[in-house]
Amino acid sequence: MKKMLFFLMFFLFLGSLGLAMTCRPPDLPPHPTAEQIMQHWFDIKFTRFVNDAVYNGVNLIMIDKSGYKREKKAVRKRIIMHGKNGFDYKDLIAITYPEYSKGLAVLNWAYMDINKQNDIWIWLPSMKKIRKVSQAEGDDSFMGTEFTVEEVTTRRYGYETYELLGEEIFKGYKAHYNKKIYYANTPCYKIKAVPKKNPWYYTHRIVWIDKNTGIDIYEEYYDKKGRKFKEIFHYFDTPKEGCWWARIWEVYNFRTGHSDTLLIEPGCYNSGLKERHFSPRILERQEW
């Protein structure tokens, strides 16, 4: 009897390890709705299939319309709260290079209730000051890039209404930073996403979701006159065996001719981050 109990506990232990070490999302259901597709994408975007995520190497390449390049580096950490105390996740991004902006950081607390505004703090090292900002400022530039704060940190499932426009072959995306073609001839779900906030900085976006992975590979943003003014591209490593990692995020603004590219080095999942690592006070004490 004792031996049987031992083996039962052993297999339960192995099962718990398998759950803890999950580092890839579940598959999309067959014939998914627009809502299921977008929910699945946001689960991937915010790594809800793990307990925490650490990205120690995030390189930002900023290219203006003349071709002049600037570079920044950052780190990013996220802990998934799984509903604890009403939280969805807590996310921290901090600049590590260049020296003049080193330490600039954004801390974001997201709640399970999407009607409750995120708590967002910015640490300004030059002023040695923490500033709490309103989520209404989500259309502000994210750290001087063409990305907005909402696009990188705060937009979640339910902030928009979704309509499945159909299925279509994505012809491919030519990246601005290296001129390579990605996702050529990829079968996609095509979804129209309309923000519930009105007016907002875009009237709708067209989202291309890879049918095989559920990843949002390309987004088109439109203004009130129906003009496409921005595009965003995502590239992920998705091995058949092993962990999935975001590798490239790129934005291009058709109005300014500027592009910004985030090159992300794989870090680690389920590293044991604690909730205390994501408090406003930690911003003052961290050495990036």
Structure confidence by residue, pLDDT tens digits, 76-129: 999 999 999 999 999 999 999 999 889 999 999 999 999 999 999 999 988 889
Specify the higher pLDDT residue, 285 or 144. Answer: 144
Q: Is 281 helix (H, G, I), strand (E, B) or coil?
A: helix
Homologous superfamily of the 41-285 domain (CATH): Lipoprotein localisation LolA/LolB/LppX (2.50.20.10)
Q: Tell me which amino acid residue 216 is.
A: D
pLDDT tens for 203-250 read 999 999 999 999 999 999 999 999 999 999 999 999 988 899 999 999
Position 17 scores a pLDDT of 31
The CA distance from 232 to 264, in Å, is 15
Specify the higher pLDDT residue, 186 or 283. Answer: 186
CB 105 within 8 A of CB 283: yes
CB 194 within 8 A of CB 222: no
Q: Tell me which amino acid residue 13 is.
A: F
Position 138 scores a pLDDT of 87
Q: Domain residues of the chain, as ranges?
A: 41-285
Position 224 scores a pLDDT of 96
